[in-house]
Structure 1
Amino acid sequence: MHCQTCGDATSPAFDECQRCGTRHGQPAVLPGVPTYAVRGLGLAVRVAVGATAALFTLSALFPLLGVHLARSAAEQLDRDVLLGAVLAEVLFTLPFVLAVLVAATLVVIWTWRVRRNLDAFSGAAPTQSTAWAIAGWLVPFANVVVPARVVAEVARYSLWRRRTPWLVPLWWTAWLVFSIGERVVAQLEEQRYGRLTEWPRSEAEFATYVTFYQEAFVPRLVPVIACLVAAISFVVLVRRISAAQQDRIARARPVFPGWPGHPGWPGHHAWSGQFDQSGRPGPPTAGVAVPAPVVGPAPGASAATSPQLPPGAGGTIGA
């Protein structure tokens, strides 16, 4: 006897699969419980998170350009060049802010969907409610812990792990270092910038701007490295979880036993493929064998309900 979810051989000594936790005889997806597509959304999340990390890295490296502009302003004693440096940094930062908004929206939706799918998975017993999949990102103080707990449960039950995958604590630790470090660095830079001469006139006053940009580069490396680590680890998590859930959901959508053309349908070999006025199958056509149609999810559908099916033979799905 094999597990309906992961395909491993089961033992009568246990009531559930020792790999994925599915109870013997239960299907991979519980009948009648809605599930949500996550493969396409997961791809969008990975692209948005990767773009956000790249744009932040680009904006964080602006002091390299700032030093060059400040030196040019000091040589020419031109304050307009310094003003141009400020405007250039704004142009570097604005795309990053927009990318953050897009990525944050997609991540919240993805977190809710993958957590909601756990309710339909046999053997899953999450302790974090579906509401926390959204509120956990938005509620102050709770957003320091809750999102990591939600993703940890999703990773365990989606990837059939007894323990939380190491990528989860790596991602969340790097994310916290980035979030806190970026704010601290920004505040320190703001204080240092406020001590500069607003309208420099002498070479010495212009030189303070050169020093400002030189000293701003090294502290920014800490949030940059943390951002890249968090982005890469989260992208890998999203890919693995989305693929595992989507494959599991797909296995719960075979041909409906009651559909015309299925071997269990009376006279399926002679069905004409037409329906009468009442909506029932039309009269049989002699000598015509009609193959059973395969029914799958409608194109673009984001949610589906698992059909009422008896347990079938198990298999394996890639994580």
Structure 2
Amino acid sequence: MHCQTCGADSSTVGACPRCGVSPDRPPLSPGMPTLAVHGIGLAAAIGVGLTALLYTLVALAPVLRVLLTPPGGDPGRQPAPLAAEGLLSLAYVVVFLATAVLVMVWMFRARKNTDAFPGGRKVLAAHWAITGWWVPVASLAVPCLVMVGIVRDTLDRVWLRVLVGVWWLAWLAFGIADLVTSLAEVGDRVRRAEQGLTPDLDHYRDAALRNTVPALACLVAAAALVAVVLRVSAVQQARIDGAAWRAALLPPSTPTQPVTGPTPQVPGDPTVASPQVPPGSGGTIGA
């Protein structure tokens, strides 16, 4: 048994595992536009993975200072670790900003496509896929709600919704842990400056240990988000391409030509007239 939309082998009961279309529903609502998500979804997934990798390297950069500092040297004045840390931090900021744009655009496109999927429950408008990240307080929940709606209306699978929850919880944990470690780093530097001390090897060891928590949360959030983006992109693109493939197989409809000539008349049976009796001789009676 093959799916009527994308042609994939669909031996399971219910929605197609590839395109998410139920046998009793059309793949797309007539007249609703759709947006491509495969390319930008792949770019967003690569950006998320690269961002997580760069953040992990930046978070563990104090270990580099410890390893490259000679015995008796000052780890805060080593040029090689300082230059490497600066380049990693710059690369992380650039990649993070570019990835943020890609993820927002992908979420907007994926949310917009769900408007064309029959049977979905649209709770938030598509613009919340972008504006939800910028509104104070609302940014703590709106992006997750938008992603849940995208997953529900695209391919409602329990494991996919669990991945969305893991992504958002890990993202919040990463933000809180990164803020806490940054404040702790600043506080430690201020305390040492007040005491006339410079950061030593113990300082960088402690910093690397503190940074382990946000680094792990970042990796978990990135892995979950990459899995969601790639799966949703594949399902949506299969549905969109399958709908186009299905429409291409249908024969074009022949438009009905209007009738411009007169309506032909159907000849009827001739009327049989009664025979006429010729008048008799003599004219009128009694003449």
Fold agreement, TM-score > 0.5:
yes
**Aligned partners of 1:51 and 1:99 also within 8 Å:** yes
Gaps of 5+ in 1: 11-16, 267-319
- The count of corresponding residues between Structure 1 and Structure 2 is 248
What's 2:203 paired with? Answer: 212
Deviation at 1:85, TM superposition (A): 4.5
Single out whichever of 249-258 and 184-193 deviates more from structure 2.
Answer: 249-258
1:60-79 matches, within 5 Å, as 60-69=59-68, 71-72=69-70, 75-76=72-73
Amino acid of the structure 2 residue aligned with 1:129: A
Instruction: Report the TM-score when normalising by structure 1.
Output: 0.68
**Aligned partners of 1:56 and 1:224 also within 8 Å:** yes
Query: 1:98/1:199 Cα in 2 relative to 1: closer, same or farther (>3 Å)?
Result: farther
Aligned with 2:192: secondary structure? coil
Deviations 1:50-96 (A, max 9, x none): 00011111111111112245x53x72569743x66444422221111
Whole-angstrom distance in 2 between the partners of 1:252 and 1:21: 10
Query: 1:131/1:173 Cα in 2 relative to 1: closer, same or farther (>3 Å)?
Result: same
Which of the pair is proportionally richer in helix? 2
1:156-235 matches, within 5 Å, as 156-161=152-157, 165-197=161-193, 205=197, 208-235=199-226
Deviation at 1:194, TM superposition (A): 2.1
- Of 119, 142, 146, the match for 2:138: 142
What's 2:34 paired with? Answer: 35
Deviations 1:180-199 (A, max 9, x none): 11111011101111223499
Aligned-residue Cα RMSD (Å) equals: 3.4
Gaps of 5+ in 2: 256-287
Single out whichever of 104-113 and 243-252 deviates more from structure 2.
Answer: 243-252
- Of 129, 132, 151, the match for 1:133: 129
Aligned with 2:133: secondary structure? helix
Whole-angstrom distance in 2 between the partners of 1:178 and 1:77: 31
Query: 1:219/1:80 Cα in 2 relative to 1: closer, same or farther (>3 Å)?
Result: closer
Whole-angstrom distance in 1 between the partners of 2:201 and 2:229: 42
Whole-angstrom distance in 1 between the partners of 2:124 and 2:76: 56
What's 1:292 paired with? Answer: none
Query: 1:150/1:58 Cα in 2 relative to 1: closer, same or farther (>3 Å)?
Result: same
What's 1:238 paired with? Answer: 229
What's 2:95 paired with? Answer: 99
Deviations 1:123-160 (A, max 9, x none): 11121111111111111211110000110111111113
Whole-angstrom distance in 2 between the partners of 1:31 and 1:164: 28
Query: 1:211/1:245 Cα in 2 relative to 1: closer, same or farther (>3 Å)?
Result: same
Whole-angstrom distance in 2 between the partners of 1:256 and 1:152: 30
1:108 aligns with 2:104: yes
Amino acid of the structure 1 residue aligned with 2:217: A
Aligned with 2:172: secondary structure? helix
Deviation at 1:98, TM superposition (A): 0.7
Deviation at 1:242, TM superposition (A): 0.4
Amino acid of the structure 1 residue aligned with 2:132: G
